[in-house]
């Protein structure tokens, strides 16, 4: 850890960090590069010792590991366990790492052999049920979103470097959407998970007139029973609601409950 950075005159440690990716689109790591205006300031906060997508050098002496993607193969489990042994803090970066992300949609078939055959025919290919990082190792911090919001990452990483407590919003996206004075998407006939999804994205999708798909998972205070009533009142089919709820894996338990109820004999 180097100490050549100061904050309000106090020396601040520049922790060594590494970025890693398991099964993913690598978009969350790109989001970090996508913050061109503050990128150089952000980079000066930490010392990057591993970032395969961006640099050739590869150190194993990272204190903080940011891991993107979900676990879908045995070698990924091993890599993840290795990262856990090396790092003091492991951060799950994005929805794939936190909940399995869109990758976990293949779990819904409960039939890996069919999934493999559908894409690869008879060619042998290795894969597992998709798991979030927390199913394999202890995760210290989760950064939600598909993609992650770079401003939020910078805020969280700054707090991490300064040793401040990191708090995620407890309220849903709906609050942020109202604060932005957006027209309610339900009034435009669009389904939206804003009422139940954890805030922190500043109502990114609803502000662009796309209903929330729940990529950040449920808010701690989410009232999912009420969501079903809202959807039904607005004439939105259960299929469209489930499409959104199951998309990123954050609402997996709730979706399983709805499906179980659907299958109960009347």
Partner 1 sequence: MKISCDIDIKHLTRVEGHGNIRIVIQDGQVQEARWEVVETPRFFEAILVGKHFENAPYLCGRICGICSIGHTLASIRAVENGFGITPTVQTSRLRLLLKHMETLQSHILHIYFLAAPDYLGVGSVLPLTQSHPAVVQQALRLKLLANDICDEVGGRRLHPTRTVVGGFTMLPDRYRLGQFRQRLQASLVDLGVSVELFRSFSIPDFQRETEFVSLQGKGDYPFIGGDLISTDGVVKQEQEYAAMTNEYMAEWSTSKLSRLSRKSLAVGALARINNNFAGLLPEARAIAEEVGLVPVTHNPFMNVMAQLVECVQVVLESMQLIDDLLAEPWQDPRQVVAVRAGIGVAAVEVPRGILYHCLHLDAAGRIVKADCVIPTSQNHANIRHDIEALAVFCVGQGKSDKEIELLAEMLVRAYDPCISCSVH
Interface residue list for partner 1 (CB under 8 A): 21-31, 33-34, 36-37, 39-40, 43, 48, 51-58, 72-73, 76, 101-103, 105-106, 109, 114-116, 118-120, 123, 125, 127, 146-147, 204-205, 208-210, 213, 239-240, 243, 247
Output the CA–CA distances (angstroms, integers) from residue 56 to 51, 59, 60, 117, 155, in the order listed. Answer: 8, 10, 13, 37, 27
CB of 57 to partner 1, least distance (A): 5
Q: Which helix (H) or strand (E) holds 7?
A: strand 2-7
CB of 211 to partner 1, least distance (A): 9
* Distance between CA atoms of residues 257 and 266, nearest Å: 16
Contact criterion met (CB below 8 Å) for 141 and 166: yes
Geometric angle at alpha carbon 88, from 83 and 91, rounded to 5°: 65
Closer CB to partner 1, residue 41 or residue 221? 41
CB of 153 to partner 1, least distance (A): 13
Closer CB to partner 1, residue 41 or residue 257? 41
Closer CB to partner 1, residue 13 or residue 30? 30
CB of 165 to partner 1, least distance (A): 29
Question: What are the residues whose beta carbons fall under 8 Å from the beta carbon of 187, sequence distance 6 or more?
Answer: none
Closer CB to partner 1, residue 90 or residue 102? 102
């Amino acid at each position: 850890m180097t100490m050549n950075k100061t904050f309000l005159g106090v020396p601040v440690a520049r922790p060594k960090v590494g970025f890693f990716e398991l099964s993913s689109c690598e978009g969350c790591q790109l989001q970090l590069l996508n913050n061109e205006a503050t990128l150089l300031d952000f980079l000066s906060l930490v010392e990057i010792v591993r970032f395969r997508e961006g640099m050739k050098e590869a150190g194993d002496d990272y204190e903080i590991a940011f891991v993107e993607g979900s676990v879908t193969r045995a070698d990924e489990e091993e890599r993840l366990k290795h990262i856990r042994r090396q790092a003091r803090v492991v951060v799950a970066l994005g929805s794939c790492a936190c909940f399995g992300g869109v990758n976990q949609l293949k779990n819904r078939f409960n039939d890996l052999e069919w999934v493999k055959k559908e894409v690869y025919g008879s060619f042998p290919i290795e894969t597992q049920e998709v798991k979030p990082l927390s199913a394999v190792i202890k995760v210290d911090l989760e950064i939600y979103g598909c993609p992650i919001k770079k401003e939020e990452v910078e805020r969280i990483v700054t707090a991490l470097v300064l040793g401040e407590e990191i708090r995620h919003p407890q309220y849903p996206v709906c609050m942020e959407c109202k604060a932005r004075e957006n027209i309610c998407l339900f009034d435009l006939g669009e389904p939206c998970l804003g009422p139940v999804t954890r805030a922190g994205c500043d109502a990114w999708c609803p502000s662009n007139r796309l209903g929330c798909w729940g990529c950040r998972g449920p808010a701690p205070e989410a009232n999912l029973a009420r969501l079903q009533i809202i959807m039904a009142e607005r004439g939105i089919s259960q299929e469209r609601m489930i499409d959104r709820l199951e998309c990123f894996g954050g609402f997996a338990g709730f979706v399983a409950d709805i499906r179980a109820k659907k299958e109960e004999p009347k």
